[in-house]
Amino acid sequence: MITTKSKSQAKVAKPETKTRIHLNSGLKADGLLKLYYYMRLMRGFEDSILRLYQQGKIVGGAYSGNGNEATAIGSAFALEKDDYLFPMHRDMGAHFVKGESVLNLMLQHLARENSLTRGRDGTGHYSDPSLRIYGNISHLGAMVPVACGAALACKLRKEKSVVMTYIGDGGASVGEVHEGLAMASVMRLPFILIIENNQYAYSTPTAKQFLVKHLSDRAVGYGIPGVTVDGTDVLAVFRVCREAVERARKGDGPTIIESVTMRMHGHAAHDNAWYVPKKQFEEWKKKDPIERFEKLLMTEGVLTEAKKKELTKDIHAQLDEATNIALEAPYPPSEQAAEGVYAE
Protein backbone atom coordinates (compact mmCIF):
# COMPACT_ATOMS: atom_id res chain seq x y z
CA MET A 1 0.00 0.00 0.00
CA ILE A 2 2.79 2.41 0.87
CA THR A 3 4.92 3.12 -2.15
CA THR A 4 7.11 5.90 -3.36
CA LYS A 5 5.41 8.50 -5.47
CA SER A 6 6.96 7.22 -8.67
CA LYS A 7 5.24 3.85 -8.22
CA SER A 8 1.89 4.97 -6.96
CA GLN A 9 -0.23 8.01 -7.40
CA ALA A 10 -1.94 8.04 -4.04
CA LYS A 11 -5.09 10.09 -4.44
CA VAL A 12 -6.03 12.98 -2.23
CA ALA A 13 -9.33 12.10 -0.68
CA LYS A 14 -11.95 14.62 -1.71
CA PRO A 15 -14.71 15.37 0.76
CA GLU A 16 -17.29 13.13 -0.81
CA THR A 17 -19.94 11.46 1.29
CA LYS A 18 -19.89 8.49 -1.08
CA THR A 19 -16.45 7.30 0.05
CA ARG A 20 -16.87 4.04 1.88
CA ILE A 21 -14.78 3.32 4.92
CA HIS A 22 -12.88 0.05 4.55
CA LEU A 23 -13.21 -2.49 7.29
CA ASN A 24 -10.17 -4.58 6.37
CA SER A 25 -7.95 -3.24 9.09
CA GLY A 26 -7.08 -6.50 10.80
CA LEU A 27 -8.90 -5.22 13.87
CA LYS A 28 -11.56 -7.20 15.68
CA ALA A 29 -14.72 -5.73 17.22
CA ASP A 30 -12.99 -4.63 20.44
CA GLY A 31 -10.28 -2.79 18.47
CA LEU A 32 -12.87 -1.10 16.28
CA LEU A 33 -14.83 -0.02 19.34
CA LYS A 34 -11.67 1.34 20.95
CA LEU A 35 -11.06 3.55 17.90
CA TYR A 36 -14.62 4.83 18.18
CA TYR A 37 -14.32 5.36 21.93
CA TYR A 38 -11.10 7.35 21.65
CA MET A 39 -12.50 9.55 18.88
CA ARG A 40 -15.55 10.29 21.01
CA LEU A 41 -13.38 10.93 24.08
CA MET A 42 -11.18 13.35 22.12
CA ARG A 43 -14.14 15.35 20.90
CA GLY A 44 -15.82 15.31 24.30
CA PHE A 45 -12.63 16.41 26.02
CA GLU A 46 -12.00 19.25 23.60
CA ASP A 47 -15.62 20.41 23.81
CA SER A 48 -15.15 20.57 27.60
CA ILE A 49 -11.96 22.59 27.16
CA LEU A 50 -13.70 25.04 24.83
CA ARG A 51 -16.55 25.45 27.33
CA LEU A 52 -14.12 26.07 30.17
CA TYR A 53 -12.34 28.64 28.01
CA GLN A 54 -15.62 30.42 27.32
CA GLN A 55 -16.32 30.44 31.05
CA GLY A 56 -13.00 32.20 31.62
CA LYS A 57 -11.56 29.22 33.48
CA ILE A 58 -8.75 28.61 31.00
CA VAL A 59 -6.18 31.29 30.33
CA GLY A 60 -4.20 31.61 27.12
CA GLY A 61 -5.53 29.60 24.20
CA ALA A 62 -7.82 26.63 23.69
CA TYR A 63 -7.23 24.47 20.63
CA SER A 64 -9.40 21.82 19.10
CA GLY A 65 -8.80 18.99 16.68
CA ASN A 66 -12.42 18.85 15.58
CA GLY A 67 -12.24 17.10 12.20
CA ASN A 68 -8.86 15.55 13.02
CA GLU A 69 -10.06 12.76 15.29
CA ALA A 70 -9.55 9.96 12.77
CA THR A 71 -6.01 11.14 12.07
CA ALA A 72 -4.96 11.54 15.71
CA ILE A 73 -6.53 8.27 16.85
CA GLY A 74 -5.84 6.09 13.82
CA SER A 75 -2.16 7.04 13.82
CA ALA A 76 -1.44 6.63 17.54
CA PHE A 77 -3.35 3.34 17.55
CA ALA A 78 -0.66 1.92 15.27
CA LEU A 79 1.99 2.44 17.98
CA GLU A 80 3.08 0.03 20.70
CA LYS A 81 3.71 0.88 24.35
CA ASP A 82 7.47 1.34 23.88
CA ASP A 83 7.12 3.60 20.85
CA TYR A 84 7.51 7.35 21.11
CA LEU A 85 4.76 9.85 20.34
CA PHE A 86 5.47 13.52 19.62
CA PRO A 87 1.97 14.95 19.12
CA MET A 88 0.95 18.38 17.83
CA HIS A 89 -1.89 20.71 18.81
CA ARG A 90 -4.59 18.83 16.85
CA ASP A 91 -3.75 15.44 18.33
CA MET A 92 -5.32 15.37 21.78
CA GLY A 93 -6.74 11.91 21.17
CA ALA A 94 -3.28 10.51 20.48
CA HIS A 95 -2.37 11.21 24.12
CA PHE A 96 -5.33 9.18 25.30
CA VAL A 97 -4.47 6.29 23.00
CA LYS A 98 -0.90 6.29 24.33
CA GLY A 99 -2.27 6.01 27.86
CA GLU A 100 -2.55 9.56 29.20
CA SER A 101 -5.38 10.04 31.69
CA VAL A 102 -8.27 12.43 31.24
CA LEU A 103 -7.48 13.92 34.64
CA ASN A 104 -3.83 14.66 33.80
CA LEU A 105 -4.82 16.41 30.60
CA MET A 106 -7.56 18.37 32.37
CA LEU A 107 -5.16 19.48 35.13
CA GLN A 108 -2.70 20.53 32.43
CA HIS A 109 -5.26 22.65 30.57
CA LEU A 110 -6.39 24.27 33.78
CA ALA A 111 -2.72 24.96 34.66
CA ARG A 112 -2.91 23.42 38.11
CA GLU A 113 0.01 22.81 40.45
CA ASN A 114 -0.20 19.03 40.15
CA SER A 115 -0.31 19.04 36.35
CA LEU A 116 2.38 17.68 34.04
CA THR A 117 3.96 21.14 33.72
CA ARG A 118 3.17 22.10 37.34
CA GLY A 119 0.94 24.91 36.11
CA ARG A 120 3.61 26.59 33.94
CA ASP A 121 1.64 25.95 30.77
CA GLY A 122 -2.05 25.60 30.03
CA THR A 123 -2.00 24.17 26.53
CA GLY A 124 -0.19 21.39 24.74
CA HIS A 125 3.40 22.02 25.68
CA TYR A 126 3.77 19.13 28.06
CA SER A 127 5.39 15.74 28.13
CA ASP A 128 4.93 12.51 29.99
CA PRO A 129 8.14 10.50 29.64
CA SER A 130 6.59 7.61 31.59
CA LEU A 131 4.33 7.05 28.58
CA ARG A 132 6.94 8.12 26.02
CA ILE A 133 4.84 11.14 25.06
CA TYR A 134 6.76 14.32 24.27
CA GLY A 135 4.23 17.08 23.76
CA ASN A 136 4.56 19.78 21.23
CA ILE A 137 7.20 22.42 20.91
CA SER A 138 5.48 25.69 20.11
CA HIS A 139 7.84 26.65 17.30
CA LEU A 140 6.43 24.86 14.31
CA GLY A 141 8.86 22.51 12.64
CA ALA A 142 11.28 22.45 15.57
CA MET A 143 9.88 19.19 16.86
CA VAL A 144 10.75 17.23 13.71
CA PRO A 145 14.55 17.22 14.29
CA VAL A 146 13.96 16.54 17.99
CA ALA A 147 11.78 13.54 17.15
CA CYS A 148 14.42 12.42 14.62
CA GLY A 149 16.96 12.64 17.44
CA ALA A 150 14.79 10.32 19.51
CA ALA A 151 14.64 7.95 16.54
CA LEU A 152 18.43 8.08 16.26
CA ALA A 153 18.67 7.22 19.96
CA CYS A 154 16.41 4.19 19.39
CA LYS A 155 18.68 3.05 16.58
CA LEU A 156 21.92 3.56 18.51
CA ARG A 157 20.53 1.74 21.54
CA LYS A 158 19.25 -1.04 19.26
CA GLU A 159 15.77 -0.59 20.69
CA LYS A 160 12.91 -1.74 18.53
CA SER A 161 10.88 1.41 19.23
CA VAL A 162 9.70 3.80 16.52
CA VAL A 163 8.99 7.53 16.68
CA MET A 164 5.88 9.20 15.31
CA THR A 165 5.35 12.92 14.99
CA TYR A 166 3.05 15.34 13.20
CA ILE A 167 3.22 18.65 11.37
CA GLY A 168 0.54 20.82 9.78
CA ASP A 169 0.24 21.82 6.13
CA GLY A 170 1.65 25.21 7.13
CA GLY A 171 4.31 23.92 9.47
CA ALA A 172 5.53 21.58 6.71
CA SER A 173 7.03 24.67 4.99
CA VAL A 174 9.42 25.33 7.88
CA GLY A 175 13.09 24.57 7.15
CA GLU A 176 13.68 22.32 10.14
CA VAL A 177 11.20 19.82 8.73
CA HIS A 178 13.47 19.36 5.73
CA GLU A 179 16.57 19.11 7.89
CA GLY A 180 14.99 16.43 10.02
CA LEU A 181 13.77 14.43 7.05
CA ALA A 182 17.12 14.69 5.24
CA MET A 183 18.81 13.17 8.25
CA ALA A 184 16.12 10.60 9.05
CA SER A 185 16.02 9.28 5.50
CA VAL A 186 19.74 8.85 4.91
CA MET A 187 20.20 7.29 8.35
CA ARG A 188 17.13 5.09 7.85
CA LEU A 189 15.76 6.13 11.22
CA PRO A 190 12.62 4.52 12.64
CA PHE A 191 10.57 7.65 12.05
CA ILE A 192 7.07 8.44 10.81
CA LEU A 193 5.97 11.96 9.91
CA ILE A 194 2.27 12.62 9.58
CA ILE A 195 1.50 15.80 7.71
CA GLU A 196 -1.94 16.93 8.81
CA ASN A 197 -3.27 18.73 5.78
CA ASN A 198 -6.35 20.40 7.25
CA GLN A 199 -6.67 22.99 4.46
CA TYR A 200 -5.55 26.00 6.51
CA ALA A 201 -2.60 27.30 8.44
CA TYR A 202 -4.34 29.84 10.62
CA SER A 203 -6.05 31.90 7.87
CA THR A 204 -3.75 30.82 5.01
CA PRO A 205 -5.32 28.27 2.64
CA THR A 206 -3.17 25.50 1.21
CA ALA A 207 -3.22 27.10 -2.27
CA LYS A 208 -1.00 29.85 -0.83
CA GLN A 209 1.26 27.38 0.94
CA PHE A 210 2.50 24.85 -1.64
CA LEU A 211 2.31 23.88 -5.31
CA VAL A 212 2.76 20.11 -5.07
CA LYS A 213 -0.37 18.07 -5.66
CA HIS A 214 0.09 16.01 -2.52
CA LEU A 215 2.34 16.94 0.37
CA SER A 216 3.43 13.30 0.38
CA ASP A 217 4.98 13.93 -3.07
CA ARG A 218 7.84 15.54 -1.20
CA ALA A 219 8.91 12.10 0.00
CA VAL A 220 10.46 11.40 -3.39
CA GLY A 221 13.03 14.12 -2.67
CA TYR A 222 14.22 12.12 0.33
CA GLY A 223 14.02 8.73 -1.39
CA ILE A 224 11.47 7.46 1.10
CA PRO A 225 7.86 6.30 0.74
CA GLY A 226 5.12 8.90 0.82
CA VAL A 227 1.41 8.25 0.94
CA THR A 228 -1.69 10.37 1.05
CA VAL A 229 -4.64 9.10 3.00
CA ASP A 230 -8.20 10.21 3.66
CA GLY A 231 -7.73 11.68 7.12
CA THR A 232 -11.40 11.36 7.98
CA ASP A 233 -11.32 7.56 7.64
CA VAL A 234 -9.90 6.19 10.87
CA LEU A 235 -9.32 2.71 9.49
CA ALA A 236 -7.51 3.99 6.41
CA VAL A 237 -5.27 6.12 8.63
CA PHE A 238 -4.63 3.19 10.95
CA ARG A 239 -3.70 0.91 8.05
CA VAL A 240 -1.16 3.23 6.43
CA CYS A 241 0.33 4.12 9.80
CA ARG A 242 0.64 0.49 10.83
CA GLU A 243 2.49 -0.26 7.59
CA ALA A 244 4.81 2.68 8.16
CA VAL A 245 5.42 1.57 11.76
CA GLU A 246 6.25 -1.95 10.57
CA ARG A 247 8.68 -0.60 7.98
CA ALA A 248 10.35 1.61 10.54
CA ARG A 249 10.61 -1.22 13.06
CA LYS A 250 12.22 -3.51 10.50
CA GLY A 251 14.95 -0.92 9.91
CA ASP A 252 13.65 0.22 6.53
CA GLY A 253 13.50 3.88 7.52
CA PRO A 254 10.98 6.70 7.60
CA THR A 255 7.67 7.32 5.84
CA ILE A 256 5.79 10.53 5.17
CA ILE A 257 2.01 10.24 5.47
CA GLU A 258 -0.17 13.13 4.38
CA SER A 259 -3.53 12.89 6.09
CA VAL A 260 -6.16 15.04 4.42
CA THR A 261 -8.67 16.56 6.81
CA MET A 262 -10.44 19.82 7.53
CA ARG A 263 -9.93 22.04 10.53
CA MET A 264 -13.58 22.35 11.49
CA HIS A 265 -13.02 25.11 14.05
CA GLY A 266 -11.01 28.29 13.95
CA HIS A 267 -7.29 28.13 14.68
CA ALA A 268 -8.12 28.33 18.39
CA ALA A 269 -11.10 29.39 20.49
CA HIS A 270 -10.51 33.10 19.84
CA ASP A 271 -10.81 32.66 16.05
CA ASN A 272 -14.23 32.28 14.43
CA ALA A 273 -12.71 31.24 11.07
CA TRP A 274 -14.56 34.00 9.19
CA TYR A 275 -12.14 33.49 6.28
CA VAL A 276 -13.29 29.91 5.56
CA PRO A 277 -16.13 29.73 3.00
CA LYS A 278 -19.28 28.39 4.65
CA LYS A 279 -19.73 25.93 1.83
CA GLN A 280 -16.36 24.38 2.56
CA PHE A 281 -17.39 23.66 6.15
CA GLU A 282 -20.70 22.24 4.95
CA GLU A 283 -18.99 19.89 2.50
CA TRP A 284 -16.55 18.58 5.06
CA LYS A 285 -19.23 18.26 7.73
CA LYS A 286 -20.64 15.46 5.59
CA LYS A 287 -17.40 13.58 6.20
CA ASP A 288 -17.30 14.02 9.96
CA PRO A 289 -14.84 11.28 11.05
CA ILE A 290 -16.88 10.20 14.05
CA GLU A 291 -20.24 10.14 12.29
CA ARG A 292 -18.79 8.20 9.35
CA PHE A 293 -17.25 5.58 11.56
CA GLU A 294 -20.29 5.34 13.81
CA LYS A 295 -22.49 4.70 10.79
CA LEU A 296 -20.16 1.98 9.59
CA LEU A 297 -20.00 0.28 12.99
CA MET A 298 -23.79 0.36 13.28
CA THR A 299 -24.20 -1.10 9.79
CA GLU A 300 -21.71 -3.85 10.56
CA GLY A 301 -23.43 -4.60 13.88
CA VAL A 302 -20.30 -3.77 15.90
CA LEU A 303 -22.02 -0.84 17.61
CA THR A 304 -25.60 -0.75 18.84
CA GLU A 305 -27.70 2.13 20.16
CA ALA A 306 -27.52 0.60 23.65
CA LYS A 307 -23.72 0.31 23.50
CA LYS A 308 -23.45 3.89 22.21
CA LYS A 309 -25.58 5.14 25.09
CA GLU A 310 -23.45 3.28 27.62
CA LEU A 311 -20.22 4.62 26.09
CA THR A 312 -21.56 8.19 25.96
CA LYS A 313 -22.53 7.98 29.64
CA ASP A 314 -19.08 6.65 30.54
CA ILE A 315 -17.28 9.44 28.64
CA HIS A 316 -19.45 12.15 30.20
CA ALA A 317 -18.87 10.71 33.68
CA GLN A 318 -15.10 10.66 33.16
CA LEU A 319 -15.06 14.22 31.85
CA ASP A 320 -17.30 15.53 34.65
CA GLU A 321 -15.19 13.87 37.31
CA ALA A 322 -11.89 15.11 35.87
CA THR A 323 -13.26 18.65 35.42
CA ASN A 324 -14.54 18.80 39.00
CA ILE A 325 -11.29 17.49 40.47
CA ALA A 326 -9.17 19.81 38.33
CA LEU A 327 -11.27 22.89 39.12
CA GLU A 328 -10.84 22.17 42.84
CA ALA A 329 -7.06 21.66 42.51
CA PRO A 330 -4.80 24.56 43.55
CA TYR A 331 -2.71 26.74 41.23
CA PRO A 332 1.05 26.72 41.87
CA PRO A 333 2.20 29.20 44.51
CA SER A 334 3.19 32.47 42.85
CA GLU A 335 6.60 32.55 44.56
CA GLN A 336 7.53 29.40 42.60
CA ALA A 337 6.55 30.85 39.21
CA ALA A 338 10.13 31.09 37.91
CA GLU A 339 11.11 27.58 39.04
CA GLY A 340 11.49 24.90 36.40
CA VAL A 341 10.97 27.34 33.56
CA TYR A 342 14.58 27.53 32.34
CA ALA A 343 16.93 24.62 31.78
CA GLU A 344 19.71 24.44 34.38
Ligand X SMILES: Cc1ncc(C[n+]2csc(CCOP(=O)(O)OP(=O)(O)O)c2C)c(N)n1
By CB under 6 A, name the one of 170, 180, 226, 289 that touches ligand X. 170
Binding mask 237-276 for ligand X (x = CB under 6 A): --------------------------x---x---------
* C-beta closer to Mg ion: residue 184 or 201: 201
Give the binding range for ligand X (CB under 6 A) out of 135-143, 212-220, 236-244, 289-297. Answer: 135-143
Residue 249, classed as helix, strand or coil, is: helix
Q: Give the DSSP H or E segment for 180.
A: helix 175-186
d(C-alpha 163, C-alpha 225), whole Å? 16
Calpha distance 259→197 (Å, rounded): 6
- Residues near 333 by Cβ (< 8 Å), separated by ≥ 6? 113
Per-residue x/- mask for ligand X, residues 36 to 75, rule CB under 6 A?
A: ----------------------------------------
| The one among 46, 169, 258, 288 contacting ligand X by CB under 6 A | 169
Give Cα 236 to chain centroid, integer Å.
15
174 binds, among Mg ion, ligand X, none (CB under 5 to 8 A by kind): ligand X
Q: Which of 5, 90, 112, 247 binds ligand X (CB under 6 A)?
A: 90
313 counts as binding ligand X under rule CB under 6 A: no
**138, interface contact from Mg ion, ligand X, none, CB < 5-8 Å by kind:** ligand X
CB of 294: closest distance to ligand X in angstroms?
Answer: 24
Residue 169 as a binder of Mg ion (CB under 5 A): the answer is: yes
Decide if 25 contacts 290 (C-beta within 8 A). Answer: no
Per CB under 5 A, 190 contacts Mg ion: no
Indicate whether 128 belongs to the interface with ligand X (CB under 6 A): no
Select from 66, 46, 62, 49 the least CA-distant residue to 281: 66
Instruction: Output the smallest distance, CB 129 to ligand X, in A.
Output: 23
For residue 203, which of 296, 267, 122 has the smallest C-alpha distance? 267
Strand, helix or coil for residue 35: helix
Q: Between residues 243 and 258, which has the closer beta carbon with respect to ligand X? A: 258
Contacts of 125 (CB under 8 A, 6+ apart): 117, 135, 136, 137, 138
* 46 versus 243: smaller Cβ distance to ligand X: 46
Contact with Mg ion (CB under 5 A) among 168, 225, 266, 332: 168
313-325 as b/e, with b when 16 or more CB fall inside 10 Å?
Answer: eebeebbeebbeb
Q: Is 82 exposed, middle or buried (0-12, 13-18, 19+ CB in 10 A)?
A: exposed
# binding residues, ligand X (CB under 6 A): 17
Q: How far apart (Å, rounded) are the C-alpha atoms in residues 175 and 331? A: 38
Q: What is the three-class DSSP state of 200?
A: strand
86 contacts ligand X (rule: CB under 6 A): no
139 lines the binding site for ligand X (CB under 6 A): yes
- Binding residue for Mg ion, selected from 66, 123, 198, 232, defined by CB under 5 A: 198
Enumerate binding residues for ligand X (CB under 6 A): 90, 138-141, 168-171, 174, 196, 198, 200-202, 263, 267
